[in-house]
Amino acid sequence: MSEAANSETMDQTVAEPLLECDGVYVTFPRYGAEEAVALRDVSLTISRGEVLGLVGESGSGKTMLARAIMRLIPQPGAITSGSVTFEGTNLGELDPEALRRMRGRDIAMIISNPRGELDPLQTVGQQIGNVLRYHLDLNSKDVRERALDLLKQVSIPDPQRRLDAYPHELSGGMAQRVVIAIALACSPRFIISDDATSGLDVTVQAQVLELIRKLVSERDTSMMFITRDIGITAHYCDRIAIIYAGEIMEVADRGVFFDDPLHPYTVLLLAAFAQNERLRRYWLGEDKVRENSGPSAVGCAFQNRCVRVQQRCLAEHPVLTEHRPGHFVRCHFPVERP
């Protein structure tokens, strides 16, 4: 959908695009059947300093998108079409070494469940140090200082001691802060936070989110904030994208998005999230939620769960169109509200 991407005009608050995904397809070969499409026609733009929330359920392709940007698609999947451009460079044209140098230095990732993802055999200091050493060519003394400094920045209590701690000795929240420190180590221009807080207690979660937001805004770093929790995006994101079955369903600035969602799936998500019966009714209208069922390969991916499904949805694949300026939606029949 290059048309949609191209036509997306820059928000007035944003100067230039930092990262641009253009019609990205990620497919996995399947056998005896058509290949499985993990990402379909994903076009997104993220500007400098912008925080984009990417919301979708598990398996919707959020993580795949993050990996596509980093160019770390698991075997045997591949980006079969489209491009990812970062600061004007088409990442697909970079050689593996350049890509590697980019990862962690220019584009960093904050992962969820960090205790399982950190190397169990290395201390916190070593793991932060690794990134510093291999990206910034620091010597080991500087590395230690910098690592300590980073731990301080992410407000880890008793950082000196934590530096020599192993992942299993950390609490979930602390491990999360370590991962953030690693992500920040090289002052990247772009950070992907992949469900970063999902495993944490609610109070810790809030602290960590606050920390991320603070650090990101201090450094004028852009961020893609991937989450299953649409509520979080309301607080922390400038713009929100909804992904379903590997497709971007709706993209809009925060205000517009929550006030006036266009896609039935967005409505469904908001309704599911809402505690408020009045709001629920407002978002859901009289529609009833259909039985849960998987995405469809033909026609609209959401057709099986859509309360508003019509004949056209079964046959014709909808494209992402700019319904209003800056508000894109992929639906034949967007939700219109009085």
Partner 1 sequence: MTSQPQGVPTLQAAPEEAGRPSASGSWWFFLAVLRARPQFALGYGIVLLIILLAIFAPLIAPFDPQQANPSAFLQPPGWPYLMGTDATGLDIFSRVIYAPRIDLAIALAGTLVSAVFGSIFGSIAGYYETKRGLGTLVSGFIMRSSDVIQAFPVFVFAIAVVAVLGQSLQSIILAVAFVNAPIYLRLMRSQVLSVRRLRYVEAAYIAGTSDLGILARHVIPNAMAPVLAQLSVNIGWAILLTSALSFIGAGVEAPTPEWGSMIAMGYQNIITGHWWPSIFPGLALALTIFGFSLVGASVEVLADPVRRGRLAGEVRQRRGANVAPAGQV
Partner 2 sequence: MQILSYIGRRLIFVAPQLVGILLVTFLLLKLIPGDPAVMMLGPFATDEGLARLRTELGLDHSIIKQFGIYLWRVIHWDLGTSWQTTMPVTSDLAQRFPATLELVTLSLLLALSIGMPLGVIGARSKNGIIRKLVEYYGLAAGSLPDFWFGLVLIFIFYTILGVVPAPLGRIDFTIIPPPEVTGSLLIDSVISGNWLALRNALGHLILPVLTLGLINAAPILKMTMSTMDRMLEADFSRYAEMCGLPDRVVARKALRNSLPSVITIVSVLYGFLIGGAVLVEIVFSWGGAGQYAVQGVLNADLNPVLGFVLYSAILSLVIYLIVDLIYFAIDPRTR
Binding footprint of partner 1 on the chain (CB under 8 A): 28-34, 36-38, 57-61, 64, 74, 76, 198, 228-229, 231, 245-246, 268-269, 272-273, 275, 292-295
Chain center to CA of 303: 24
Segment contacting partner 2 (CB under 8 A): 47-55, 104-112, 265-273, 284-292? Answer: 104-112
Task: Return the number of the residue (26 or 102) whose C-beta is nearest partner 1.
Answer: 26
In whole angstroms, the minimum distance from the beta carbon of 28 to partner 1 comes to 5
Kindly identify the residues of this chain, within the stretch 138-167, that bind partner 2 according to CB under 8 A: 166
Residue 74 · residue 67 · CB < 8 Å:
yes
Closest CA to 206 of 218, 197, 215, 214: 197
- Name which of partner 1, partner 2, none residue 57 binds, using a CB cut-off of 5 to 8 Å depending on partner kind: partner 1
Task: Return the number of the residue (182 or 309) whose C-beta is nearest partner 2.
Answer: 182
Task: Return the number of the residue (28 or 166) whose C-beta is nearest partner 1.
Answer: 28
Q: Sheet containing 17-28: give its strands across.
A: 36-47, 17-28, 78-86, 89-90
Token pair for 160: 């000196």
Chain center to CA of 279: 26
- Name which of partner 1, partner 2, none residue 168 binds, using a CB cut-off of 5 to 8 Å depending on partner kind: partner 2
Task: Return the number of the residue (13 or 160) whose C-beta is nearest partner 2.
Answer: 160
Q: Does 198 bind partner 2 (CB under 8 A)?
A: no
Of positions 29, 92, 116, 231, contacts partner 2 by CB under 8 A: 116
- Partnered with residue 242 across adjacent β-strands are 55, 250
- Name which of partner 1, partner 2, none residue 113 binds, using a CB cut-off of 5 to 8 Å depending on partner kind: partner 2
Other Cβ atoms within 10 Å of 268 Cβ, number: 21
Of positions 23, 48, 105, 229, contacts partner 2 by CB under 8 A: 105
Token pair for 11: 């928000």
Cα 238 to Cα 13: distance, rounded to the nearest angstrom: 10
What own/partner pairs with CB < 8 Å and gap ≥ 24 does 175-179 have? 175/114, 175/115, 175/118, 176/110, 176/114, 176/200, 176/204, 176/208, 177/151, 177/208, 177/211, 178/114, 178/118, 178/124, 178/127, 178/128, 178/151, 178/154, 179/110, 179/111, 179/114, 179/117, 179/118
- Name which of partner 1, partner 2, none residue 109 binds, using a CB cut-off of 5 to 8 Å depending on partner kind: partner 2
Residue 60, sorted as left (phi over 0), alpha (psi -120 to 50) or beta, turns out to be alpha
> Site mask, partner 2, residues 50-89, x = CB under 8 A?
--------------------x-x--x--------------
Task: Please give the residue ranges that form the binding site for partner 2 (CB under 8 A).
Answer: 70, 72, 75, 100-105, 108-109, 111, 113, 116-123, 130-131, 134-135, 166, 168-169, 182
